[in-house]
Amino acid sequence: MAAGALAVMACILAWVCIRQASFDPAVTVAAVAAPAAPAPAGLVEPWPAGLSPMSAAEAFTPGTLSDKIDGKADLYLSAGFVSMRSQRVRLAGAPGSWMEMLVYDMGLPANAYSVYSSQRRPSALDAGLGDYSYEAENELCLVHGRFYVELVCSDSSDAARGAAEALARSYIGSTAVAEHANIGAEQALFPTEGLVAGSIALEPSDVFGLDQLDNVFVARYRDGGGELTLFAARRDAPGKAAKEAAELRAFFVKDCGGKETPPPPYPPGAAIIEMDGGFEAVFSSGPYVAGVHQAPDRESAQRWLGAISHRIAGARP
């Protein structure tokens, strides 16, 4: 009886092994017929004439951005970076010529302008595309709503520049945005005389080395043979602006070793601080905190302080 049972079990085991050793045709067909994972969508669809992708689009998150732009990631992260997509593009009829398109989603138009203005080169020329744009050597950079876009070409030929402009126009035309970047109100705070063209920028964080000071507009000015910086930022309430002005004043004196000089006659409550051979000035006016950075002498600091305070007074409701 026991021998018979063992024989039956042996037969069953042999049958199982035979079945496992053979493939089911239905399983094989299903494996072959399984669709491949879709490739990431291109940054522009369709591509302008004469351009074609060299590779699939790549995507980067705050955690992986440094893998793509090692050394510059902090600039974008501090300005509200959300994500970035990039793709390389081939130029037809130009062997060896190509460009890379990088599209940064910065979350808000102001954030996009912040990185745009920080990256702008002194020699850049306005390109007349999108909300704000410039061309510099082999680059075309622009702001379109919350997106900051870089087109970096392998060379600076006319063909490459023309292709970059065509691609930029195609991207702008095919990408809807809820809100456009507009710093017209902030630009109006700065005097026009002596302003270095294209120098108005939005500093996102750690302005002048003070951790608490962020989202401040700055602009460079020619002063005699040198330069100085004017700055201004609108806050939610006059109390917050006054608090930040006091913190910046204390930072210059207590942390940086500056020495306060006699207060200027205008505006009320302003302070001028001598520091490292230069002069800082800071004040608040309504919801604005503003001042002068690295003026060459006290007279210059007082003169420019009066200029920006008058502009801010005119901008207040």
Amino acid at 211: D
Reply yes or no: is the peptide bond before residue 95 cis, omega within 30 of 0: no
What is the spatial distance between Cα 59 and Cα 78, in angstroms, rounded to a whole number?
19
Matching residue, tokens 């399984």: 34
**Using H for helix, E for strand and C for coil, what is the string for 172-207?**
HHHCCCCCCCCCHHHHCCCCCCCECCCCCEEECCCH
Domain spans of the chain, in order of start: 51-174, 184-315
- The predicted-structure confidence for 136-167, as pLDDT tens digits, reads as follows 989 999 999 999 999 999 999 999 999 999 99
- CA nearest neighbour of 221 among 172, 149, 292: 292
Domain 184-315 maps to which CATH number in 2.60.120.10, 3.90.550.10, 3.40.1000.20, 2.160.10.10?
A: 3.40.1000.20
- Residue-wise DSSP of 22-36: S--HHHHHHHHHSPP
Distances (CA, A) of 238 to 110, 243, 246: 22, 9, 12
- CA nearest neighbour of 102 among 93, 115, 114: 115
The greatest distance separating any two alpha carbons of the chain, rounded to the nearest whole angstrom, comes to 117
Mean pLDDT over residues 43-58, rounded?
92
- The predicted-structure confidence for 220-278, as pLDDT tens digits, reads as follows 999 988 999 999 999 999 999 999 999 999 999 999 999 999 999 999 999 999 998 89
List all residues 6 or more positions away from 6 whose beta carbon is below 8 Å from its beta carbon. none
Judge if pTM exceeds 0.85. Answer: no
